[in-house]
Each structure stands twice: as structure tokens, then as C-alpha cells.
Amino acid sequence: MYTEEPQNEHLEDENVQSSTTPEILKATSANEHEETKETILPETEETKPQMEKKGSCPPQGTLNKAITNGAILFMIWCVVWAFSGPEVLPNGSLFGLLVIFYCALIGGKLLEVIRLPSVPEIPPLLGMLLAGFAVRNVPFLSDITYISNELSSTLRNTALTIILVRAGLGLDPQALKNLKRVCLRLSMGPCLMEACSTAVISHFLMNFPWQWGFLLGFVVGAVSPAVVVPSMLHLQEKGYGIEKGIPTLLIAASSLDDILAITGFNACFSIVFSSGSHRFGMNTAGGLCALVLSFTAGTGWSKEKVRVQKIIGTAWDIFQPLLFGLVGAEVSVLSLKSNAIGLSVGTMSLALLIRISFTFVLMSCAGFNFKEKIFIALSWMPKATVQAVLGPLALEKARMSAPHLESYSEDVMTVAFLAILITAPNGALIIGILGPKVLTRYDKSKVKMELSGLELH
């Protein structure tokens, strides 16, 4: 018995040792594997930068993209040069177009980057306008930049078409139905009042003939959706004024306001440049047809309208720097009269005060309180897009067919330029600062919680 128990114990010890040895081997192999893994990883991490340094030719990353894009642009430029010749060289139309486009694009981006704390975003179109103005009046850039009148006119007409299509697609039929009376009053009344007051003031202050005064009035009488719509959407996202539909009202009325201004300008344009003032022509039909067809198509497309709006928005992103850059390039400091700026600012300011006052009166019977009426009246002043399109048209027409009317056309162009320069940034600042202070905020989350509580009971 004594001999069997040690043997059994010996066997049990052997079994324990045999059972533990694989675990020890596994543990040691795992530790060795982790150690080798830890030793291999630093080596690979250390050798990786060396490999990248050794393989840095050809270049990669941002430098590679810059070189590739530069090479592609240079090849495209060479191909265009082979077909067009001197047009892509300095003093050529295509070269000048590229200079204005890139300068306007850089000017707009700078205004987007440079932002002051607690100050609303200034529209980038102001930077595009100032960039075109700098290209025209800086000595070196003005010497190498030239754009033919035909090319400039074609680009501006294309921009006008895009604006009208965007306006037609942006109209909300339901909002127009709910706010039809107030929307019609807001879109037609202030525009007509400012056009008439501008005609009277410019007739006595700037010695404009009556037909030129009304033409100038419809140029400056339009409000700019490029400033109003983004500002209203920003307030709408935060819940300001949505209970009474103030952002929707201003967005819808801005498109109708532009339509009225463009129609009135085309009628006055036909009268001013007609040979006997015996017929009006059909200049207004194109813009109205583009607007009506885009609105009709948008109501039929329903959900597919969003895709079309994205395409039109991309086209506008390309033509917007061209439009405002070309408008800024039309204004020359040397060609301005000594008293032209003062008279232009005075005419525009007086007409703008009349517009603001009349807008306040029109909103008196619409169910808004005093602060909301003040906000609507002040936010109905920014000017940019329509002025940039319509301002140079009279100047181009006078240069081609009526040189004796060129002085009036230059004054119209100057007033349009100053209207954009003064009202666009100030209007954006007023909307951004005054909106959260005077409009009632409607918290959607509280409404959802109340509704869920009602459902639970």
C-alpha cells in the first residue's frame, strides 16, 4: 500500500505537469509573440517615415494635387490658345474674363474667412464686387484686363436667366396661398413706391428726364434675394418669427419683388431706346416666360425639383463671381464726375427712406406688432443681384446705338454700384442683429414635448 500511493502520487504529479506544460508553453509562446510583435511594430513605425521619405518622389498629397491641377489648366490654356490665338493672352477677352473670375472668387472667399465675433456674416458678393472694382482701377491689372462688350452682355443675360429660373423654382405655392394678400402688398407696394420716388428725386436732383428717372427707379427698386433669403433661412432655423410666417413671407415676396422690378425696367428700357416711343416691343416677354415656365415645372416636379435646384445652384455659383466682378469692373474712378457720388448717394438714400416708411405703413394692418413691422421694413432694403444685372444694360445699349445717352447710363450704373455697396452689407447686418432681438422665438422642441404628453394622457 505504501508503494502504490507514491506511485499514484507520482502519476498524478506527472499528469499535472503534463497538463500544465502546454499552458506554460502557450503562455510563453504568446508572450514571445507579443514581445516580437512589440519589437516589430516600433521597427515598422520607425521605418515607415523613412519609406515615405524615400518614396516622396513623385510628390503626394496637396502638392501633388496642386501640380496636377496646374498642369491640367496649362494644357487647357494651350489648347484654347491654339484655337483662339491672342484672346487668351493679356488684353484678350478670355484672359480678362479669367482674371475677373478668379479675383472675384478670391474676394468672396476672403469675406467668408474674415469674420468678426458677434457680427453676422457679410454676403460674399460684396467682396466680388470690390474685386472687380479693384481690377478696373488698379493700374497694372487694368492695363492687362479687357473684356468685349458682347461677351460681357452675354454673361450678364445668362446670369439674369439663372436668377429668374431660381426665383420661379423657389416660389412656394402653399405659402403664396396662405399669405397672398400680405405677400402681394409687400412685393408690389414698396417697389413701385421706391421707383416713383426715385424718378421724382432724380428728375429734380440729378436733372434726369422722366423716362430715365423711372428706369433708374426700377433698377434700384428691387430687393436682393441673395441677401434676404440666406438671412431669413438662418433665422427660420433658429425659430425666430416662424409663428407668424415672417421668414416665409419675406422669402416669397423677394422673388415677386424682383419680377416686378425687371418687368418695369424692361418697359422703361424699351421707351428710352425706342426710335419714336410708338411701340414697346417684346423685351419683357422673355423674363416673364422663364419665370412662369420654371414655376409651372416646379409645381409639376414636386420632389424632383430639389435635383433641378441643385443644378441651377451650381450654375449660379459659377456665374455669381462673373456677374458681380463684371459690375465692379464697369465703374471707373477716373470717369466719375466730381458731384456724381454725392448726388447718387443722396438720391438713393431719400428714396430708400420713403421705401422703408411705406413698407411700415403697408404692414400696419397685417397682424404684426410694432417691433415686427420695424424689422420687416428694415430688412426690405438690401440690394444686389438685380442691380448687378440691370445696371450695366443701359450703358451697353447706349455705347452700341445711342452715344448721346451714355452720360445718363453711366449715372445709372454708378447709382446701382453704390446701392449694392451700401445696402447689401448693412441689410445683412441689420437682419442678423435685429432679428433675434425683436422677433419671437418659437421653440419646436417644447411643442413636440407637449404633443407627446397629450398623447400619453
> pLDDT tens digit string along 262-311?
888 988 888 888 765 744 444 455 666 777 788 788 877 767 788 888 88
Exposed/middle/buried for residue 377 (C-beta within 10 Å: 0-12, 13-18, 19+): buried
| Residue 228 belongs to a domain | yes
Examine residue 227 and state whether it is found in any structural domain, yes or no: yes
CATH of residue 337's domain is 1.20.1530.20
**Model pLDDT for residues 95-109, shown as the tens digit of each residue:** 888 888 888 888 888
pLDDT digits (tens, 9 = 90+) for 345-371: 999 999 999 999 999 999 887 788 899
| Domain membership flag for residue 312 | yes
**Number of domains composing the chain:** 1
Classify residue 386: in a domain, yes or no: yes
256 in a domain, yes or no?
yes
What are 27-52's pLDDT values in tens digits? Answer: 444 444 444 444 444 444 444 444 44
Query: Is the Cα torsion angle 366, 369, 370, 375 positive or negative in sign?
Result: negative
Domain-embedded: residue 66: no
63 part of a folded domain: no
pLDDT digits (tens, 9 = 90+) for 219-248: 999 888 778 877 887 788 788 888 888 887
Cβ pair 131, 107 in contact under 8 A: yes
Q: Are 341 and 418 in contact (CB under 8 A)?
A: yes
Q: Decide if 424 contacts 125 (C-beta within 8 A).
A: yes
Bond from prior residue into 58 cis (ω within 30 degrees of 0): yes
Helical segments of 330-442, H only: 340-362, 370-379, 385-401, 406-438
Q: What is the pLDDT of residue 57?
A: 61
Q: Which domain holds residue 371?
A: 148-443
Asked, for residue 102, whether it belongs to a domain, the answer is no
